[in-house]
Chain A
Amino acid sequence: MRVLVVEDDALLGDAIQAGLKQSGYAVDWMKDGVSADQALGTETYAAVVLDLGLPRLSGLEVLRRLRGRGAPIPVLILTARDTVNDRITGLDAGADDYLLKPFDMGELAARLRALIRRASGKVELLLQAAGVKLDPAAHRVLFRDNPVELSPKEFAVLHALMLNAGKVLSRAQIEDQLYAWGEEIESNAVEVHIHHLRRKLAPELIETIRGVGYLVPADKAS
């Protein structure tokens, strides 16, 4: 999952980036409102962590522009202001959730998971498809109730596919979710991850739609 962090404070931004990486996210970090606005206009993110007090363009304005473009990305705002009015203003401007500074990194990651799950229209905590159970919070994957060891990138690819079970994801779309901006993308990395996933799990779990992308079929049950 690729998320955008917008925070002008160097130490806090650095910590959020590192912490979310630990939770398996690919993280882009922008330090002012204008570059955040540009990134949101060009890149695809699963969620945005947005500080409100930003230089050049306020967090609220970034949010308004984002919603003005009709983008449905879940947005969690970080605020140092804890009056009810501040929260109302943030939520009304299009935020989905907020956290008051200082916050707990675990809570931030959990809230992001909840936001992403809700945005995908899923209700269950565990994603299931073809005998594979994926727990986004615990970063665990079970195949026929046996734990399977996956690398963080492999987990991220599987997570993206299972979150969109029944839909075809292009290689570029998967790559988008894997790499933060500026990160080196190895060519045919996605193919390698898919290959490993098929080997560790069932070969028929992920179907290749030649020339289009990959697909995890939706469970008959769900």
Chain B
Amino acid sequence: MREQSSLKKRLLLLALSTVAVVWIGAATFVYFDAREEFDEVLDAHLAQDAALLSAQITHELAELETLHAPLLHKYARRIAFQVWEDGKVLLLHSDNAAQQHLGDAEQGFSNTTMDGHRWRVFTTWDDSGGYLIHVAERADVRDELAQDIAGNLLEPLLFSLPLLALMLWVAVARGLQPLGKLAAEVERRDPETLTPLDAGAAPREVLPLIERLNRLFARIDSTIQKERRFTADAAHELRTPVAGIKAQAQVARAAAGEAERIHALDNAILGCDRATHLIEQLLTLARVDSVDAGVAKPCRLRDIAAGEIAAAAPAALVKGVHIELPEGDETAVRGNPELLRILVRNLIDNAVRHTPSGTTVQVGIGQKQGVATLSVSDDGPGIPEQEMDKVAERFYRPADTQASGSGLGLSIVKRIAEVHGASLRFMQAGNGRGLRVTVEFWQPPRDNAAR
């Protein structure tokens, strides 16, 4: 398993490496700057030494007893000089200076290598022109000096970095405290608690996170409430058909005559069919409740309607009801074909249930101003004006209804319409009675229609 990344560790590492990089950068700059300064200062010193030597040579050469100059300082060994008479005879030299010329006869600064070391050489002729003077200095002295200075700058970094790390750790921890609090609050919640998190105390950076979380909580909460209400409703709705079946069976058992017994048994069987239908509708509703249009693809409304009419027509004819689909243009909408079939099936089923024998259920498909419409009209008792907005509620059944629906058909239709971003309209059918349900598909389906 991959180790979980830590924000604290990340911040700490970033801060520490930033400090280190800046510090090292500064030390490098100091090193090169110091080198340059030393070059100038020490070159000046070399020139001065040479001038000094040349003055000595002209006036006091006879008094110089020793061929070898003494070493006076730890850096002194790294200085060398030579005095050549007429540039040919080595008259005087320091003991570390070899026999050959330190540099050429050209006056000025030059670099050379001696005993494996790099040397900086200043060459000059004395005023009389009789003596050639080389004064040299080990170039690594300069490097050493610059390195010492840069090193002095880096040394505290070495000690202070762990200290800095410790302090940064504490600081970062304090800085991230609001996050920790938020995490603890979320952790403390039991899964049933879906009250929103307090956004007031949270830092601005995590506010979007809290807002999204709160919106999610609200949505889950409403889903759970809906789910619970639905389960309770479903359980209650199932009690009535079961009560009917039981009562009919008991009537059959106690029946005195054959006709009474058959009637009761037939009714019991009818009750089972109705309970089955109710259960199927409950399952369908539960299913469409949890889907979105998902795999939206072009669906031909006319084809879907024709298919469903063909499936529903035989049973409707037994009841004496005709289903009609007038000719017209094909209309395609984007959607989930499976769901659209369920929508059409429920609309037709609903209409056939409520329309009296000998009438016709009209299915209409059309398109105007880019809105594809599908409508199903029946010739039944219709819905009172004041109850029009209740028809799609779960388990709504109109008064005086002789039909035995589950009260869920139009809820299923409504849900599928929502998923497809379609709107649902209920009105009186053209003849002043009956119900017309119109589904208007606004194309293309609006985004987030599923929610």
Within 8 A of A (CB), among B246-284: 246-248, 250-251, 254-256, 260, 263-264, 267, 270-271, 274
A11: chain B residues within 8 A (beta carbon): 241, 244-245, 248, 267, 270-271, 274, 404
Contacts A22-B255, A56-B399, A105-B250 given; does A15 touch B264 at CB 8 Å: yes
A55 touching B239, Cβ below 8 Å: no
How many residues does chain B have at the interface if contact means C-beta atoms less than 8 Å apart? 31
A81-B236, A103-B243, A105-B251 as given contacts; A55 in contact with B267, CB under 8 Å: no
* Chain B, Cβ-Cβ closest to A20: B251
When the two chains form their complex, are residues A55 and B400 in contact, meaning their CB atoms are under 8 A apart? yes
Q: Let me know if B399 and A102 touch, CB within 8 A.
A: no
Asked if B397 CB lies within 8 Å of chain A CBs, one says: yes
CB distance from B253 to the nearest CB of A (A): 9
Bound CA span A100–B242, Å? 12
- Asked if A101 is at the interface (CB within 8 A of a chain B CB), the reply is yes
| Per-position binary interface string of chain B over residues 221-237, scored 1 when its CB falls under 8 Å from any chain A CB and 0 otherwise | 00000000000000011
A91 adjacent to chain B (CB < 8 Å): no
B151 contacts chain A at the CB level, 8 A cutoff: no
**Docked pose: A101 CA to B246 CA in angstroms:** 10
- Does B445 count as interface, using CB distance less than 8 angstroms? no
A19 cross-chain contacts in B, Cβ below 8 A: 247, 250-251, 254
Q: Quick check: A102 and B404 within 8 Å, CB to CB?
A: no
Name the contact of A106 in the complex, choosing from B239, B240, B250 (C-beta under 8 A).
B250
Give residues of chain A (20-56) contacting chain B, Cβ–Cβ below 8 Å.
22, 31-32, 34, 55-56
Q: Which residues of B contact A56 (CB under 8 A)?
A: 399-400
Q: Are B247 and A15 within 8 A (Cβ)?
A: yes
Complex alpha-carbon distance, A100 and B250, angstroms:
16
**Residue-wise interface mask of A (97-140) relative to B, using a CB-CB cutoff of 8 A (1 in contact, 0 not):** 00011111110000000000000000000000000000000000
Interface hub of B236, B250, B256, B404 (most chain A Cβ within 10 A): B250
Is A63 positioned at the interface, with any CB of B under 8 Å from its CB? no
Beta-carbon contacts under 8 Å, B351-409 to A: 397-402, 404
Asked if A9 is at the interface (CB within 8 A of a chain B CB), the reply is yes
Residue in chain A with minimal CB distance to B404:
A10
Contact at B250–A104, with CB atoms within 8 Å? yes
Which of B236, B263, B264, B271 is A80 in contact with, Cβ under 8 Å?
A: B236
A92 at the interface (CB under 8 A from B): no
Whether, in the assembled complex, A205 has its beta carbon less than 8 Å from a beta carbon of chain B, the answer is no
Determine the distance from Cα of A20 to Cα of B34 in the docked complex, in whole angstroms: 116
Please name all residues of chain A whose beta carbon is closer than 8 Å to the beta carbon of B397 when the two chains form the complex: 8, 55
Of A12, A14, A56, A81, chain B has the most CB atoms within 10 Å of the CB of: A12
Q: In the complex, what's the smallest C-beta–C-beta distance from A76 to chain B, in angstroms? A: 14
- Contact residues of B between 115 and 171, Cβ < 8 Å to A: none
Q: Tell me which residues across on chain A come within 8 A of B399, comparing CB atoms.
A: 32, 34, 55-56
- Contact A15:B402 (CB < 8 A) given known A9-B244, A101-B243, A104-B246: no
B residues 45-78 with Cβ under 8 Å of A? none
**Contacts A18-B260, A55-B397, A81-B236 given; does A12 touch B250 at CB 8 Å:** no
Q: Is the beta-carbon distance between A15 and B236 smaller than 8 angstroms?
A: no
Given contacts A11-B241, A34-B399, A101-B239, 4 further A-B contacts (CB under 8 A): A11-B271, A80-B240, A104-B246, A105-B254
Query: Can you offer 16 A-B residue contacts whose CB atoms are under 8 A?
Result: A10-B402, A11-B274, A18-B263, A19-B247, A22-B251, A32-B400, A55-B397, A78-B243, A80-B236, A80-B243, A101-B240, A102-B245, A102-B246, A103-B243, A103-B246, A103-B247
Q: A interface vs B, CB < 8 Å?
A: 8-12, 14-16, 18-19, 22, 31-32, 34, 55-56, 78, 80-81, 100-106
Interfacial residues, chain B to chain A (CB-CB below 8 A): 236-237, 239-248, 250-251, 254-256, 260, 263-264, 267, 270-271, 274, 397-402, 404
